[in-house]
C-alpha cells in the first residue's frame, strides 16, 4: 500500500539524457513514464517538476557571455520542451497528463493555476510543471519546493542518478559517505549541493520532508512511495 497520497517528484533534465551528451534518450523517457504511471495507477497523486539542463542551463550560458536573465529564460523554455516530451510519452501509454507552465505558452500548455492543478490531481491526472517559477535567478529545485508546498504534497522526491546524499560527490570522491537521513539545518550548514539553499530553506519552513533517491534504478520510485527506506531522508 502506498505510504503517500500526494507527492511532488523532481526530475533533472540531465537524467533524460541517459548516456547521451544532450537531448532526450527515448528509452530513458519510456522507463520513467512507465514507472510513474504504475505509481499513479495505485492511487497516488503525482506532480512532476522537470529541469532543462539536457538542453540549456542558464548559469552555463553566462560563462559564454549570455546575459543571466536571458540565459535563465532560455533554461525555462528548455523545461517546457522536456515537459512536452513527458506529456507525450505519458499519452502514448494511455496515461492522462496535464502540462502547466509558469508563463503563458498558449496553445502549447496551460498557464499555472492551483485550482486547475488540484482539480487535475483529484481527477487522477499526472501533473507536469514546466517553466520554473517564471522568474530568473531561481532554480527548478526551488520550483519543486514551491509547487510541492502549493499542492500540499506530503513529500518532495528528488530522483537523481545517485542513491542519496553524500558527504561529497560520490562520482568524484570514492571516500564519500552516504547519509541515511539528515536534518535541513545540517544540509544547509554543510552546504550540500544536491539542492540549492533556497529549496532546502523553503521545505524546512513548511516542514516538507525530502527524499533523494536513484530514479534510474527500476522499481525505486515504487519502493519510496511504499515507504521502503532507500535514498536519503531530509527532515526537520
* pLDDT, mean of residues 10-16: 93
Q: Which of 182, 197, 158 is nearest to 236 (CA)?
A: 182
Domain span at residue 127 reads 6-156+185-196
Compute the half-sphere exposure of residue 81: CA atoms within 13 Å on the CB side of its CA.
Answer: 15
Residue 220, domain member (yes or no): no
Number of domains in the chain: 1
Residue 211, domain member (yes or no): no
Spatial separation of the C-alpha atoms in residues 151 and 114, rounded to whole Å = 7
pLDDT in tens, 36-83: 999 999 999 999 999 999 999 877 777 778 899 999 999 999 999 999
- State yes or no: pLDDT of 1 exceeds 90: no
First to last CA, the chain: 25
pLDDT in tens, 161-184: 899 999 998 989 999 999 999 999
Spatial separation of the C-alpha atoms in residues 227 and 224, rounded to whole Å = 5
Residue 229, domain member (yes or no): no
Given this model, what pLDDT does residue 217 score?
94
pLDDT in tens, 104-146: 999 999 999 999 999 999 999 999 999 999 999 999 999 999 9
User: pTM of the full predicted structure?
Assistant: 0.95
- What CATH number should be reported for the domain holding residue 62? 3.40.1160.10
Residue 30, domain member (yes or no): yes
Residue 205, domain member (yes or no): no
pLDDT in tens, 176-213: 999 999 999 999 999 998 899 999 999 999 999 999 99
Residue 201: DSSP 8-state? H
Residue 112, domain member (yes or no): yes
Spatial separation of the C-alpha atoms in residues 192 and 171, rounded to whole Å = 15
Amino acid at each position: 500500500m502506498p505510504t503517500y497520497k500526494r507527492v511532488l517528484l523532481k526530475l533533472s533534465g540531465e537524467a533524460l539524457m541517459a548516456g547521451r551528451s544532450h537531448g532526450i534518450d527515448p528509452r530513458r523517457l519510456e522507463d520513467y513514464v512507465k514507472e510513474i504511471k504504475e505509481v499513479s495507477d495505485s492511487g497516488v497523486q503525482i506532480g512532476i517538476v522537470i529541469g532543462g539542463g539536457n538542453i540549456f542551463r542558464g548559469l552555463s550560458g553566462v560563462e559564454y557571455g549570455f546575459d543571466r536573465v536571458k540565459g535563465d529564460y532560455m533554461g525555462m523554455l528548455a523545461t517546457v520542451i522536456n515537459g512536452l516530451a513527458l506529456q507525450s510519452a505519458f499519452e502514448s501509454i494511455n496515461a492522462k497528463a496535464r502540462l502547466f507552465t509558469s508563463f503563458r505558452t498558449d496553445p502549447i500548455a496551460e498557464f499555472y493555476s492551483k485550482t486547475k492543478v488540484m482539480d487535475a490531481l483529484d481527477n487522477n491526472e499526472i501533473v507536469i510543471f514546466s517553466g520554473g517559477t517564471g522568474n530568473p535567478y531561481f532554480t527548478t529545485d526551488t520550483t519543486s519546493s514551491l509547487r510541492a508546498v502549493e499542492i500540499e504534497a506530503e513529500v518532495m522526491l528528488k530522483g537523481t542518478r545517485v542513491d542519496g546524499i553524500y558527504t561529497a560527490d560520490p562520482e568524484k570522491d570514492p571516500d564519500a559517505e552516504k547519509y541515511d537521513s539528515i536534518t535541513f539545518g545540517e544540509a544547509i550548514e554543510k552546504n550540500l549541493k544536491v539542492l540549492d539553499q533556497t529549496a532546502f530553506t523553503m521545505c524546512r519552513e513548511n516542514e516538507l520532508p525530502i527524499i533523494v533517491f536513484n530514479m534510474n534504478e527500476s522499481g525505486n520510485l515504487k519502493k519510496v512511495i511504499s515507504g521502503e527506506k532507500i535514498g536519503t531522508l531530509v527532515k526537520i
